[in-house]
């Protein structure tokens, strides 16, 4: 039974390990995955702790439905206080680690304290061991996984690991599993590194009993048909996420030369169709029919012949648009290096591009870069920065601290050019023409991030009745909704709706590509209610699941407020307001975000959440969600 | 005509949905350790090979079984285990050249693919059709056609060249 998967508390300082069942009452409140992680972090991390110190915790989890029948039930979530932002840190990845951990009997591992020397955890069939990682420390992501499999003598072991970036406490280091499944954003890899934990290896052969197996099989078929019948899923399975690039660059939504333009010119080589020529097939995460991971071989240059997976849309932005490069090879190699070093390529690309703009402006000189020519469009410099950041060499060492700390070190007016929210670099997308998307990155609980709330379907010009159908369930909404992506009206509700939806799906452990993210007809609350029942026997209505999403988002908000977040942190950098776009389709050219209207959007967004004008959840909201006694230390 | 599982290795995305539905169908649980099919992977080469019972005509498992618990079911073209007779000696596990018969340690019995009695769930849920359930006589046809197309291309080239000359 999925419901009998346990939580384990691992004290790395003392070596003591304690396991506990997760009561159904807690499941009903937080479901699992990201939701229960946020509860555990709020309850176990010492308030205002140093994120890289022993008082922080790192929670590694599998969502409630991981390993069961619902398609793409593959997601691992990792949470703690972020070494990058100082606020809630959280990452979510696919692959095969989470199901293996669930088959080994666990849904949540709470890592506390700090190991004296490098260790890894060995989780197998109800047991957890802390093992010496002396021989594995220093290895890249693929090397570490292979070494652990060899040491334990089982090819089927799945490993979550950090790479050199995590060991070197690069503040945006990832946790990784498999070839390219990346738990990126907010530096959970650095958090593991600070605890001297190189990896977690899992292998399980314990049954997850399905409550209603025949019904679950039949319903799963319908669920999958709903996912795969959407055109967007089919395109994604044919070209991977790079398919998003072409249209976005055409209309003018790709930040270029850091933030100077909103469209990359001469970009044919980095288009999805061009990248696809190097892809010999697509790969799926556990039980996924979308299979959006390209399997590619680098065609040219010093890394010719090397195998990797992806690249994602994010890699095209990080290694092409932002640094003003137009070479597919740079995208493929940059993606590869980020994967083997285990670091967030969004940060690598964004910070490198920022450094390039500083170099162009003369704020950084050849002396600062140790002779590296950081001109826009210099492919070699972009690749070199991957090495320098992972191993913290000169300018790379400064950038490895994250944008805000780096700006302090570099000084002058370097901060003026940094594109971030809450100290986290923005994705390469340019949101100046799309207020809904801009609001999403400004308010995201883990900092500037598109996977917290992005209402991507807002770009589709869906007719108002269609929007109303989507956004009026499972809670009624009769406020404004507009089809025009340039509008400010009604968008706060959309952002609020997507935040709640994505939090809920992160609790379940299903991939966001199987929900109302890129496709308007994909499953959400109604369907989840059924898959939860057929798989676990737990009866939760669509509204119950929605409320869990709300509750979990509020606990992340409570954590952030405890760690010092105020309303001014839910804001964009000045360039979004002061520098109009210069490229793209006519409707997009010359656009910037309107400060007053944006302020109103935030007010409205807070109201939907039940937060006061400072963005603090009101006592009524906390009581409605049963959070008025947090931290409650129930688990 | 009796059917067989036809695997197209190029189409497998390695998602392991087949392993999941196999164990749910047979045991009511999610547990690849109890699945009759397995995706064998070379992760860092991006190669995935689904492995299941080939339902051999002259099956080594059947030949080696000391109590004749394994027999051929000609109607469904499969090799079946009679659990009333099986003594759990695991000789069949040792004899199978594909590793397709395995010992389920939780149920303490040998397990192998039984085509889900004619509605293989791995096929039902394989979205890319890497595994198909087809007439045994048709298994070669796709490959035959692909090979023929190559010849066709060569012949067209020759014709075109000759026309130019």
- Residue B159, SS3? helix
- For residue A591, pLDDT over 80 is answered with yes
Q: Is B84 part of any domain?
A: yes
- In this complex, the residue of A207, A221, A280 whose CB is nearest that of residue B124 is A221
Band (pLDDT 50/70/90 cuts) for residue B145 is: confident
Nearest-by-CA chain B residue for A225: B127
Dihedral of CA B55/B25/B133/B37: which sign?
negative
Residues of A in Cβ contact (< 8 Å) with B21: 69, 217, 220
**Over the stretch A331-389, which tens digit does the pLDDT of each residue have?**
999 999 999 999 999 999 999 999 999 999 999 999 999 999 999 999 999 999 999 99
Nearest-by-CA chain B residue for A222: B125
Mean pLDDT of chain A: 97
Nearest-by-CA chain A residue for B29: A209
ipTM, two decimals, is 0.95
A170, A390 Cβ separation under 8 angstroms:
yes
Which residue, A538, A544, A505, A507, is CA-closest to A1? A538
**Over the stretch A48-98, which tens digit does the pLDDT of each residue have?**
999 999 999 999 999 999 999 988 999 999 999 999 999 999 999 999 999
Q: What are phi and psi of A617, to 5 degrees?
A: -55, 130
How far is residue B96's CA from residue B63's CA, in Å, rounded to a whole number? 10
Q: What is the mean pLDDT of residues A587-596?
A: 97
- Residue A430, SS3? coil
Band (pLDDT 50/70/90 cuts) for residue B138 is: confident
DSSP A427: P
User: Is B75 touching A (CB cutoff 8 A)?
Assistant: no
Q: Is B144 part of any domain?
A: no
A-interface mutation test, from B8, B20, B119, most A Cβ less than 10 A away: B20
CA angle A618, A624, A626 (to 5 degrees): 100
Cβ-based contacts under 8 A for chains A and B: 93
B15, A287 Cβ separation under 8 angstroms:
yes
**pLDDT for res A606:** 98
Residues of chain B above pLDDT 70, percent: 99
Q: What does A362-425 look like in DSSP terms, one character per residue?
A: TSS-TTTTTT----TT-HHHHHHHHHHHHTT-HHHHHHTT-HHHHHHHH-TTGGGG--EETTEE
B-interface mutation test, from A126, A284, A293, most B Cβ less than 10 A away: A284
Q: What does A97-125 look like in DSSP terms, one character per residue?
A: HHHHHHHTTEEEEEEES--SS-EEEEEET
- In this complex, the residue of A71, A206, A213 whose CB is nearest that of residue B28 is A213
**Block residue for tokens 């702790």:** A49
Which residue, A345, A301, A308, is CA-closest to A327? A301
* In A45-96, alpha helices (H): none
- Helices (H) and strands (E) in chain A — how many of each? 24, 18
**pLDDT for res A619:** 98
- Starting at the edge strand found earlier in the chain, the sheet holding A119-124 runs A127-132, A119-124, A197-203, A158-161, A175-177, A181-183
Q: Does residue A631 have a cis peptide bond before it, meaning omega lies within 30 degrees of 0?
A: yes
Structure tokens given for A571: 């804001």
Q: Who's near A354: CB < 8 A, 6+ residues apart?
A: A258, A403, A417, A418, A419, A425
**Over the stretch A191-212, which tens digit does the pLDDT of each residue have?**
999 999 999 999 999 999 999 9
A167, A193 Cβ separation under 8 angstroms:
yes
How far is residue A75's CA from residue A506's CA, in Å, rounded to a whole number? 8
* In A168-290, alpha helices (H): 188-194, 213-228, 231-239, 243-251, 272-275
User: Is B66 touching A (CB cutoff 8 A)?
Assistant: no
Q: Is B100 part of any domain?
A: yes
Nearest-by-CA chain B residue for A179: B44
CATH of the domain at B81: 3.30.70.20
- In this complex, the residue of A103, A216, A228 whose CB is nearest that of residue B24 is A216
Indicate yes or no: CB of B21 within 8 angstroms of CB of A285: no
Residues of chain A above pLDDT 90, percent: 99
**pLDDT for res B2:** 86
Q: What is the mean pLDDT of residues A216-236?
A: 96
Q: Domains in chain A, start-ordered, CATH in brackets?
A: 1-210+431-635 (3.60.9.10), 230-419 (1.10.569.10)
- In this complex, the residue of A206, A221, A295 whose CB is nearest that of residue B46 is A295
Q: Is B31 part of any domain?
A: yes
Q: What is the mean pLDDT of residues A259-275?
A: 97
How far is residue A439's CA from residue A225's CA, in Å, rounded to a whole number? 33
User: Is A142 touching B (CB cutoff 8 A)?
Assistant: yes
- Count how many domains chain B has: 1
Q: Is B163 part of any domain?
A: no
**pLDDT for res B21:** 98
- For residue B1, pLDDT over 70 is answered with no
**pLDDT for res B144:** 87
- B76 lies in which domain range? 3-138
Q: Is B148 part of any domain?
A: no
User: Is A286 touching B (CB cutoff 8 A)?
Assistant: yes
User: Is B49 touching A (CB cutoff 8 A)?
Assistant: no
Q: Is B15 part of any domain?
A: yes
């Amino acid at each position: 039974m999925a419901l009998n998967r346990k939580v384990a508390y691992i004290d790395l300082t003392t070596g003591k390990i304690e396991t506990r069942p997760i009561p159904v009452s807690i499941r009903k409140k937080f479901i699992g995955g990201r939701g229960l992680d946020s509860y555990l972090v709020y309850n176990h991390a010492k308030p205002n702790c140093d994120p890289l110190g022993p008082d922080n915790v790192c929670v590694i989890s599998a969502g409630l439905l991981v390993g069961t029948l619902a398609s793409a039930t593959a997601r691992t979530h990792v949470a703690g206080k972020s070494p990058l932002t100082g606020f809630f840190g959280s990452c979510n990845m696919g692959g095969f680690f989470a199901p293996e951990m669930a088959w080994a009997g666990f849904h949540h591992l709470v890592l506390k304290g700090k190991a004296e020397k490098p260790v890894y955890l060995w989780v197998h069939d109800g047991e957890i061991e802390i093992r010496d990682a002396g021989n594995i420390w220093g290895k890249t992501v693929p090397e570490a996984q292979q070494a652990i499999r060899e040491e334990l003598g089982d090819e089927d072991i799945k490993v979550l690991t950090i790479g050199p970036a995590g060991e070197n406490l690069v503040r945006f280091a990832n946790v990784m599993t498999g070839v390219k499944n990346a738990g990126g954003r907010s530096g959970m890899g650095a958090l593991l590194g600070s605890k001297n934990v190189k990896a977690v290896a899992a292998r399980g052969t314990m049954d997850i009993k399905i409550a209603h197996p025949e019904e679950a099989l039949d319903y799963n078929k319908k669920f999958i048909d709903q996912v795969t019948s959407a055109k967007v899923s089919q395109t994604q399975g044919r070209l991977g996420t790079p398919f998003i690039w072409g249209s976005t660059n055409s209309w003018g939504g790709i930040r270029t030369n850091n933030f100077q333009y909103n469209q990359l010119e001469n970009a044919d080589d980095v288009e999805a169709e061009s990248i696809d020529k190097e892809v010999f097939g697509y790969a799926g995460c556990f039980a996924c029919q979308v299979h959006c991971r390209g399997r590619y071989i680098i065609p040219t240059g010093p890394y010719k012949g090397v195998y990797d997976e992806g690249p994602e849309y994010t890699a095209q932005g990080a290694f092409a648009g932002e640094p003003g490069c137009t070479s597919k090879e740079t995208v493929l190699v940059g993606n590869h290096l980020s994967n083997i070093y285990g670091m967030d390529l969004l940060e690598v690309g964004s910070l490198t591009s920022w450094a390039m703009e500083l170099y162009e402006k003369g704020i950084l000189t050849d002396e600062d870069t140790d002779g590296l020519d950081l001109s826009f469009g210099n492919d070699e410099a972009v690749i070199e920065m991957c090495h320098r950041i992972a191993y913290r060499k000169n300018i790379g060492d400064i950038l490895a601290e994250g944008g805000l700390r780096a700006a302090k070190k570099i000084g002058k007016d370097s901060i003026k050019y940094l594109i971030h929210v809450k100290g986290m670099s923005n994705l390469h997308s340019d949101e100046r023409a799309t207020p809904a998307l801009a609001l999403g990155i400004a308010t995201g609980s883990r900092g500037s991030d598109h996977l917290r709330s992005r209402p991507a379907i807002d770009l589709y010009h869906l007719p108002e009745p269609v929007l109303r159908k989507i956004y009026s369930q499972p809670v009624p909404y009769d406020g404004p909704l507009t089809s025009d992506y340039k509008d400010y009206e009604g968008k706060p509700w959309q952002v609020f709706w997507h935040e709640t939806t994505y939090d809920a799906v992160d609790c379940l452990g299903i991939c966001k590509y199987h929900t109302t993210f890129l496709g308007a007809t994909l499953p959400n609350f109604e369907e989840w209610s059924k898959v939860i029942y057929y798989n676990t026997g737990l009866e939760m209505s669509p509204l119950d699941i929605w409320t869990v999403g709300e509750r979990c988002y509020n606990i992340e908000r409570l954590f952030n407020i405890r760690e010092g977040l105020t309303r001014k942190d839910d804001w964009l950098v000045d360039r979004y307001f002061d520098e109009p776009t210069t490229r793209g389709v006519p409707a997009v050219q010359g656009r910037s975000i309107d400060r007053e209207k944006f302020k109103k959007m935030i007010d409205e967004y807070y109201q939907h959440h039940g937060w006061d004008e400072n963005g603090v959840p009101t006592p009524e909201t906390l009581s409605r969600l049963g959070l008025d006694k947090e931290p409650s230390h129930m688990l | 005509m009796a059917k067989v599982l036809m695997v197209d290795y190029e189409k497998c995305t390695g998602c392991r949905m087949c392993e999941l539905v196999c164990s749910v169908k047979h045991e009511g649980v999610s547990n690849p350790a109890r699945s009759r099919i397995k995706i064998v992977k070379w992760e860092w080469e991006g190669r995935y090979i689904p492995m299941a019972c080939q339902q051999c005509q002259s099956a080594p498992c059947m030949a080696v079984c000391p109590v004749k618990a394994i027999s051929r079911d000609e109607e469904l073209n499969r090799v079946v285990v009679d659990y009333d007779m099986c003594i759990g000696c695991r000789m069949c596990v040792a004899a199978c050249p594909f590793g397709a018969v395995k010992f389920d340690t939780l149920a303490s019995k040998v397990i192998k693919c039984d085509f889900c009695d004619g509605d293989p769930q791995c096929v039902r849920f394989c979205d890319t059709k890497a595994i198909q359930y087809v007439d045994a006589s048709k298994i070669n046809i796709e490959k035959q056609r692909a090979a023929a197309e190559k010849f066709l291309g060569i012949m067209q080239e020759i014709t075109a060249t000759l026309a130019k000359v």
